[in-house]
Amino acid sequence: MSTPTVAFSELSKNSKRVAETLDRAQRVHITRRDGEDLYLTTARHDRQREETADITARLLAALVRSDAGERAIARALPSVFPWVRHLSADELKEFVAELIDATYDASQLDVHANLHRVVVEWRATARVLADPDLTAQLTRRLPDEDHGEVAAP
């Protein structure tokens, strides 16, 4: 089902009609000219999304606790993240562990940025590893010169 879209001005002028749309669709995309777009959702729909994230996190965590489950995840990941083929076996395990932790953060703490960050960072790592010239450039030995302490960002 596609999410209906309405302008913010429509929400303010015809809130009853937007609420009726929300009752049918459970979620409405609100566009704004002078700010980030919004989503208006029903409490039931939000609870269902939270439950979905929680079930997904617990299922992934349970799977990696067994050898068969770990193998199943390793076979399934390339369908979800085709770039994982550039990661080593150890990197793949590290990615899965971070993915599970970030999924728990999303479901238990309502912190979704960590999941996005994990995927973006590992995809960037895979992008570097996919390019042999870039990998060589970034992994070459640096001069033995000591340039001093690195300042904290």
CATH number at residue 30: 3.40.1620
Beta-carbon contacts of 126 under 8 Å, excluding residues fewer than 6 positions away, are 83, 84, 85, 86, 87
CB atoms within 10 A of CB 107: 21
* pTM of the shown model: 0.70
Domain identity same for 32 and 76:
no
pLDDT in tens, 17-63: 999 999 999 999 999 999 999 999 999 998 998 898 889 888 888 88
Query: What crossing angle do the helices spanning 89-109 and 67-80 adopt, rounded to 10°?
Result: 90
Could you identify the residue written with the tokens 């929300």? Answer: 22
Number of domains present in the structure of the chain: 2
